[in-house]
Structure 1
Amino acid sequence: MIDERTEAARLDALRMLDLLDTPPSESFDRITRMAAQLFRLPIAAVSLTDFDRQWFKSRVGVSHTGLPREKAPCALVAESRDCLVVPDLLTDARYHDSPLAGSGARFYAGAPLLTREGFGLGAMCVVGPEPRAATPEEMAALADLAAMVMAQIELQHAFGRVDPLSGMPNRIQFLEDLEDMARDRPPGEPRIAVLIDLASPERLSAAVRVMGSVYLDDMIRLAGRILRAAMPAGCKAYHVAATQFAFVAPPDLAEPGCTVAMRRMLDRLAEVASPHLMAGLAAGLAPFRLGETAPRDVLRTAHGAAQDARGSEGRIGIHSSAQDAAHRRRFGLLQDFAQALERPDELRLVFQPRIDLASGACRGGEALLRWRHPALGEVSPGEFMPLVEQTSMARPATAWVLEAAMRQLAAWREAGLDLQLSVNVSAANLAERDLPGRVLDGLRRHRLSPDCLELEVTESTVMEDAGQALAVLEALAGAGIRLAIDDFGTGHSSLSYLQRLPAQVVKIDQSFMRGLMSDDRKQALVSTMILLSHDLGYEVVAEGVEDAEVRDFLVAASCNEAQGYLFARPMAAGDFLAWRQAHADGEADRHRQARQPRLAVPGERRPGRAVQAGSPVG
């Protein structure tokens, strides 16, 4: 009687080796020929015991590739994991009516093919047409040949094509099998690649930290067994990354049917796996045509579809060419930006003036990074900067901007201009303990005083690691560098942190300026933010001011400074100086005109003296 659990584990071990229905191999055939020569018999085979058949991985003197498992001597060898000798099949009660005896065979001898875990995969067997005995020396030699077969199996299994943890063919094998499929199947045949991802990188890291790598290894092995058992007929599952498995759906399984099948598979995985780890379970479907899509692109698009599906209710994503193009553009921009940092003609700074609302004077501006891509032209900073700030390039990018800004400030100082520039820094920069030292070193090299530089940080940036960020900001502030809280009102900081920040300036985000004059609640909110900031000791700068009505409202609300298209767009250094001089001349003219008395026109009714909301207050 076969134990079902043991047999299931044995079959799983057999399938892990990926030997069934594979092409002939000279390395196995050589051992099979040695067995036939040793026993001086015409028939020898390496037999693998599948669920319902005996399949020959290698054979000599046999035309067929397998036999039914029922009453096959090799099946008993695999089940018993011991050598078996049948001197005469016709007189043996177990096998006298077996297909082997019916084909004219009389003698059988077999030695088990045993895995390191003790599972019997099949047998190294010899068969003869006449009854005979087998000496102990012959059976010992046959057992040695069986061990040689297993050594060859393990060698092929481990030779860069099988994942050692799951025992499943790996990514390299998946790519090669896709190439073979494109050669063997009709060209252009539509197929669907499926990628299953057990966990997001964040959940994977948390699981390893809490439960250890051994727990994760067990989960991957369990998932591998479930997937192998659930594979549609004719499909092979691959372990293509740490927590990712892939397969190619059968040609008759279209997208709707594949989606249904995948949902059942994901539900099965979710039932048996850790809720914490499998909460990020997702699958991606990537339709493609054989021979028309490179295997690496097939795997890449399936991976992308799985990542897009993560967090969605259905947990299954289907490849979108539009989303794929967007992802590829973002990835390309990151690669190209690293090169742009080393080239002299792609990156540049532009400068947007900041206006003192009380006097109308421009005392400085904000330095903004611009990128002219050699192929794509101007790339918006709103597109590339969020990508850069999430990578290790945040440090060199900020270093580039700081150096360029200080160099420009030094040039202006030599020309007799006393200006202040503000520069944005990211969350990654606030994690750099040496940032204050590097900034001060740059100021010394360019012979600049610390108060000519202002660093802008967002609320969210500080909150990512408040303790570390506050330490860096306090060091900067202690060195005399001005600090500003950028995009105020859009983050998630608490007042307790806000009052602890060693900043001098709060910059109200431009989103609050849009539609301000038609929204009473937004006006009340902006007025309150200005009042609160003043009470906490901050100066207030409004960003994104585009019309005079908004400026007048800010003046009435006692906002200190503003910047935006109403005053000037960001411009190159030379244009900034020309604009500043013209703006200063214009402000001087307006002040002179405001001080001149207005002559009365006979018969004109003179109103009482009042200051209009839009006029500068001097």
Structure 2
Amino acid sequence: MLSSTRQDDQPRLQALKDLQILDASQDEILNKITVLTCKLLDMPTCLVTLITDEKQCIKAKTNFPLDETARDDAFCQHTLHHQGVLVCPDTWLDARFRDLPLARQAEQPLRFYAGAPLTTDQGVAIGSLCVIDYQPRTFSEAQCRTLQEMAAVVMALLQSRSAVGLVDAVTGLPNRQRLIADLHEAQCGPRDCVLFLIDGIDITYAYEMGRSLGMPMVERVLCELGDALHRAFCGREKIYCIATGRFALWVPQARSEAALQTLMQCAESLPGGLSLPVPIRLEMHIGYTGFSVPVEAPQQVLRKALSALHDAAEQDVVLLPYRQESDEAQRRAFRLLSDLVECLDRDTGLYLMYQPKFDLLSGEAVGAEALLRWQHPMFGAVSPGQFVPLAENTTLIRPLTQWVIAQATRQLRQWRNQGIMLPVAINVAVSNFAEPDFVERLMVQLDAHGLTPADLEIECLETQKLLGSPAAMACLRRLREAGFVLALDDFGNGHSNLTYLKRIPVEVIKLDQSLIRPLHYDADCRIIVEQVIGMLHRLNYVVVAEGVEDAATLDWLRRARCDRVQGFHLARPMLPEALSALMLPEAV
């Protein structure tokens, strides 16, 4: 008997998997349906059951103690193969049921059973809606019809929930979960395939559109994007919507060139092909990667295609394939950010080195710049040029700058105790200046170590970003009023503008290494630097040249009347102990 009743296991198990309803939780809505069914049919107990290969799962129930039974003990396994409602007036008189444990239990044996199969739109029975009584009874045709109608309601609810779970609610296209499931279930057909991801609208722009025009307009754009892609492939390829404005399709390798040509045509024609009441800026980006069937790790395939898509968007090109080196660099960057959080929490790995600044007339050290370093447990020495820009794009820049301030002020206190009076300069990001409590937190650190604003110089980068942030500019003015020396770092690196200078309340201008290093061989560069130094002096700025690496450059800067210099020729970045030895050689 078991072989005949289980011959359709595979279609049913696949249907249960597609519906995504095989979890252990009770369904409250279905529970209410069982209560209603009991009232309609004047029955004490009603169940919604699902039949797997080994057990009967009770998804919803009224007046029943169990959450599951063995499949061989389930009345409902017989309902799967019955046309219409299966009615058993007395289980003790039915050979199928009389020896089952629930029919022979000592307390309240099940004596009556009626079950209507739960059948999918594809005709696969997955379980039943059944009613139970504890005494024999009859069941009319009208009651059978009512039970069938309620079973149809249950099945419609299960399938609609599945559709919502596997279909994007806005576009009506299969969603990311459906894509992952399809990749996972691909077992036959061409072995080599290609997954394409298409970014149809920048998410930030979509939010701006929603704010200005309302979310219905955004949803209309998304629907038209999905429809346009579907029409472009004439319905021959399955289009997925995996995120807001982001679509996907996968094709056999043999059809990948044709699919790529279609997508490139869409990229050219799509922005002007939408029937929208207002002009919308759309720029399509496409990333793709190859994979083999069967797919062992669908999420990994999607991740690689996503890496390619992000590369295309960042480089502002229409199309890019997956590139392992770019992916590894991005994953390394993410690892660095994650590990940086732990380093800050545990105060391990990060440390400061100090590079002296020298007065060109006297030759004496007049300050030092605190330079952040990181000894990573896996990657070794990591350049600040690699991890600081990553932190600046996240909220991590706040605790990172706070750590630098705490370390620098602590070291300043130690040097003051030794009689070393050099001020220390720290680099501060624009986002730090925009923090409403930055000045207060800075003053707290100084007060904690008995220091004054004259002990700490603030170097700021990114002139254009400074000017674009009213909060940052207000903070600079407050710092200047409090007595801090402010310096504009990396002046002349390609982003500086002379007209900006008087708008930023700084006293010191640091000339970027890109201007200083070519001085000993580039006559044009010497003319530029000489004129810049003269102009800055006339504007009453102190001029510092960084990147001085040879005696010839140092001599030229002295003749050009630069105020201060910094670079490997004079002193490399050093640990605090080495700087102490430099300033107090007699103490060594």
How far apart, CA to CA, are the structure 1 residues paired with 2:19 and 2:385? Answer: 55
Cα separation, 1, equivalents of 2:505 and 2:419? 30
Whole-Å separation in 1 of the counterparts to 2:350 and 2:446: 21
Pick aligned residue for 2:171 from 128, 147, 166: 166
CA distance 1:276–1:493, shift in 2 (3 Å): farther
Deviation of 1:432 after TM superposition, in Å, equals 0.7
Q: Is the 8 A contact 1:341 1:397 kept in 2?
A: yes
> What does the per-residue CA deviation read over 1:107-153, in whole Å, with 9 as the maximum and x for residues that have no partner?
xxxxxxxxxxxxxxxxxxxxxxxxxxxx9999999988776654443
Alpha-carbon spacing, 1:152–1:198, altered in 2? closer, same or farther (3 Å): same
Report the residue type matching 1:165 in the other structure.
Answer: V
Q: Is the CA contact (8 Å cut-off) linking 1:542 and 1:561 kept in structure 2?
A: yes
User: Which residue number in structure 2 is paired with residue 261 of structure 1?
Assistant: 262
Distance 1:477 1:462, change over 3 A: farther
Q: Quick check: 2:19–2:162 contact (8 Å CA) kept in 1? A: no
AA aligned opposite 2:258: G
**What residue number does 1:388 align with?**
391
Q: Please, which of 101, 115, 122 is the counterpart of residue 57 of structure 1? A: 122
Shift of 1:496: 4.6
CA shift at 1:509, angstroms?
Answer: 0.4
- C-alpha distance in structure 1 between counterparts of 2:198 and 2:586, whole Å: 61
- 1:556-606, Cα deviation, whole Å (9 max, x unpaired): 111100000110110100011223345999xxxxxxxxxxxxxxxxxxxxx
The equivalent of 2:345 in structure 1 is 342
Q: 1:23 to 1:419 in 2, by over 3 A?
A: closer
Report the AA paired with residue 468 of structure 2: D
Indicate if the aligned counterparts of 2:372 and 2:384 stay in contact, CA closer than 8 A.
yes
**AA partner of residue 251 (structure 2):** A
Aligned 8 A contact 1:35 1:142 in 2: no
Output one character per residue of 1:279-312: Cα deviation in whole Å (capped at 9) or x when no partner: 3311111112235662222111111212222376
Partner of 2:162: 156
Cα deviation 1:194-220 (Å, max 9, x = unaligned): 111112233233322332222111111
Q: Does 1:283 align with 2:289?
A: no
Q: 163, 177, 180: which is aligned to 1:175?
A: 180
Aligned with 1:220 (options 219, 222, 236):
222
Which deviates the most, 327-336 or 304-313?
Answer: 304-313
C-alpha change, 1:276 and 1:469, in structure 2 (3 Å) is farther
Distance 1:140 1:293 in 2: 46
1:440 positional shift: 0.8
Check 1:327–1:551 CA distance in 2 against 1; reply closer, same or farther (3 A cut).
same
Tell me the equivalent position of 2:511.
508
Which residue number corresponds to residue 7 of structure 2?
A: none
SS of the counterpart of 1:391? coil
Q: Give the direction of change, closer, same or farther, for the CA distance of 1:23–1:506 in structure 2 (3 Å limit).
A: closer
Distance in 2 of aligned mates of 1:536 and 1:34: 95
The change in CA–CA distance for 1:142 and 1:251 in structure 2 (over 3 A counts) is: farther
Matched residue type, 1:506: I
CA 45–561 in structure 1, closer or farther in 2 if over 3 Å, else same: closer
**Aligned match of 2:323:** 320
Q: Counterparts of 1:136 and 1:230 in 2: how far apart (Å)? A: 51
Q: Aligned equivalents of 1:268 and 1:33: distance in 2?
A: 53
Q: Which residue of 2 aligns with 1:527?
A: 530
Contact 1:204 1:277 in 2 (8 A): no
State the Cα RMSD in Å: 3.6
Distance in 2, Cα, partners of 1:370 & 1:362: 22
**Structure 1 residues 166 and 136, CA gap change in structure 2 (3 angstroms):** farther
Aligned to 1:203: 205
Distance 1:465 1:257, change over 3 A: same
Distance in 1, Cα, partners of 2:205 & 2:437: 31
2:343–2:350 CA contact under 8 A, matched in 1: yes
Distance 2:396 2:254 in 1: 47
Mark the CA change 1:512 to 1:313 in structure 2 (over 3 Å): closer, same or farther.
closer
Amino acid at match of 1:553: W
Q: Which amino acid aligns with 1:224?
A: G
Taking the aligned partners of 1:285 and 1:27, their CA distance within structure 2 comes to 40
1:345-369: per-residue Cα shift (whole Å, max 9, x none)?
Answer: 3000000010100100002210000
Give the deviation of 1:475 after TM superposition.
0.6
> CA, structure 1 residues 32+233, in 2 after alignment: closer, same or farther (shift >3 Å)?
farther
AA matched with 1:501: I
Q: Match for 1:171: what amino acid? A: R
The answer to whether the aligner puts 1:192 opposite 2:194 as a matched pair is yes
**Matching residue within 442, 450, 453 for 1:450:** 453
Partner residue of 1:376?
Answer: 379
CA distance in 2, matches of 1:491, 1:466: 20
Identity in percent: 33
Q: Give 3-state SS (helix, strand or coil) of 1:455's partner.
A: strand
- What is the distance in 2 between the residues matched to 1:404 and 1:271? 56
Q: CA separation in 2, counterparts of 1:505 and 1:511?
A: 18
Find the aligned partners of 1:365 and 1:45 in 2 and give their Cα distance.
Answer: 78
* Conserved 8 A contact 1:166-1:224: yes
SS of 2:254's equivalent in the other structure is coil
Deviation string 1:2-24 (CA, Å, 9 cap, x unpaired) is xxxxxxxxxxxxxxxxx9xx899
Whole-angstrom distance in 2 between the partners of 1:428 and 1:311: 22
Q: CA-to-partner distance for each residue in 1:213-253, whole Å, 9 max, x for gaps?
A: 22111111222223334457774322211121112213532
C-alpha separation between the residues in 2 aligned to 1:456 and 1:279?
39
From the superposition, tell whether residues 543 and 460 of structure 1 become closer, same or farther in structure 2 (CA, over 3 Å).
same
Give the aligned partner of residue 91 of structure 2.
none
1:597 maps to none
Cα distance change on mapping 1:583 and 1:297 into 2, 3 Å: farther
User: Which residue type is aligned with residue 374 of structure 2?
Assistant: W
Q: What secondary structure sits across from 2:426 in the alignment?
A: strand
TM-score, normalising length: structure 1: 0.69
Checking the alignment, whether the CA contact within 8 Å between 2:285 and 2:318 is kept in structure 1 is yes
Corresponding residue number in structure 1 for 2:357 = 354
What is the letter of the counterpart of residue 58 of structure 1? G
- Note closer, same or farther for the CA distance 1:292–1:584 as it changes in structure 2 (3 Å cut): farther
Q: Is the 8 A contact 1:351 1:576 kept in 2?
A: yes
Secondary structure (helix, strand or coil) at the match of 1:552 reads: helix
Cα shift readout 1:478-510 (whole Å, capped 9, x = no counterpart): 111111000012254544531132211100001
Deviations 1:514-542 (A, max 9, x none): 22122222111111211121121110000
CA distance in 1, matches of 2:537, 2:495: 20
Native 8 Å contact 1:199 1:277 kept in 2: no
Secondary structure class of the residue paired with 1:513: helix
Encode CA deviations 1:40-96: one digit per residue, 9 max, x unaligned: xxxx9989xxxxxxxx62179xxxxxxxxxxxxxxxxxxxxxxxxxxxxxxxxxxxx
Q: Determine if contact 1:463/1:493 at 8 Å carries over to the other structure.
A: no
SS in 2 for 1:514: helix
How many aligned residue pairs are there?
475
The alpha-carbon distance between structure 1 residues 517 and 146, as it changes in their structure 2 partners (threshold 3 A), is: same
Q: What is the match of residue 408 of structure 1?
A: 411
- Mean Cα displacement is larger for which, 163-172 or 518-527? 163-172
Compared CA separation, residues 417 and 59, structure 1 to 2 (3 A): closer
Q: 2:427 aligns with which of 419, 424, 441?
A: 424
Assess, with a 3 A threshold, how the Cα gap between structure 1 residues 35 and 214 changes in structure 2: closer, same or farther.
farther
